[in-house]
Chain A
Amino acid sequence: GAGVSQSPSNKVTEKGKDVELRCDPISGHTALYWYRQSLGQGLEFLIYFQGNSAPDKSGLPSDRFSAERTGGSVSTLTIQRTQQEDSAVYLCASSWSRGRSYEQYFGPGTRLTVT
């Protein structure tokens, strides 16, 4: 079946504007993760969903960041009042969460540039 998809692939926005990033996980995957890859910073965890619940939001860098997941499927990461330091590649991954098969499958990412 299809892999994890993300949209848009690239987003350029002006400082102060809000942006929404979308993730479509692999069908049937109950766990969904958002990560951020900043230049020179490596990958960092943002938030984890189990179904529609987010038991771990510890990686969200500020209250300008929020995420939701509906129907146990699509997730949206919203960044309000974007700042230049938000420029990064935002990656989504999904996995099963039963048994021992926790292997995460990554999407292609959304490259966000805040000007």
Chain B
Amino acid sequence: KNEVEQSPQNLTAQEGEFITINCSYSVGISALHWLQQHPGGGIVSLFMLSSGKKKHGRLIATINIQEKHSSLHITASHPRDSAVYICAVRGGSNYKLTFGKGTLLTVNP
């Protein structure tokens, strides 16, 4: 079993829909990252969080430390949101990231 599990693996939505991507992890962590990777593009860090909730524009990330679960939400999705979204956790050692396999999001116009 992977230390970091994401669901779904693939997600197709229509423009304007509310999107949720889930991440569960099995180890103790000091922080969780949500990353975005466009096809052929580099990786951009969207959020780093260790508790509660963060919001940036149409993106919202939440984490429940007790349940070892995080969600990434996209409100009013747009085709430019189409990308792979990757969840990564940082353990107590405070440096090494362990990654989920990613969720491929496709938003159709």
Q: Which residues on A are within 8 Å of B, measured CB to CB?
A: 31, 33, 35, 42-45, 48, 50, 56, 91, 95, 97, 102-109
The 8 Å CB contact of B95, one of A42, A48, A91, A109, is: A48
B21 at the interface (CB under 8 A from A): no
Indicate whether A42 sits within 8 Å of B100 (C-beta atoms), given known contacts A56-B95, A102-B95, A104-B33.
yes
Q: Which residues on B are within 8 Å of A, measured CB to CB?
A: 30-31, 33, 35, 41-45, 48, 86, 88, 90, 93-102
Binding site of A, secondary structure by majority: helix, strand, loop or mixed? strand
| A45–B41 CA distance with the chains assembled, in angstroms | 19
B contact residues around A102 at 8 Å (CB): 30-31, 48, 90, 94-95
Q: Say yes or no: A31 contacts B102, CB within 8 Å.
A: no
Q: Say yes or no: A44 contacts B42, CB within 8 Å.
A: no
A contact residues around B43 at 8 Å (CB): 91, 106, 109
| A108–B40 CA distance with the chains assembled, in angstroms | 9
CB distance from A83 to the nearest CB of B (A): 23
| A108–B44 CA distance with the chains assembled, in angstroms | 9
Binding site of B, secondary structure by majority: helix, strand, loop or mixed? strand
| A31–B93 CA distance with the chains assembled, in angstroms | 13
| A44–B4 CA distance with the chains assembled, in angstroms | 12
| A35–B33 CA distance with the chains assembled, in angstroms | 15
| Sample (14) of A-B pairs whose CB atoms are under 8 Å apart | A33-B97, A42-B101, A43-B88, A43-B99, A45-B96, A48-B95, A50-B95, A56-B93, A102-B48, A102-B90, A104-B97, A106-B42, A106-B44, A109-B42
CB distance from A2 to the nearest CB of B (A): 14
CB distance from A77 to the nearest CB of B (A): 16
A contact residues around B90 at 8 Å (CB): 102
The 8 Å CB contact of B86, one of A33, A43, A105, A108, is: A43
A95-B95, A106-B45, A109-B43 provided; 7 other pairs, C-beta below 8 A?
A: A43-B86, A43-B97, A43-B99, A50-B95, A91-B43, A103-B45, A104-B97
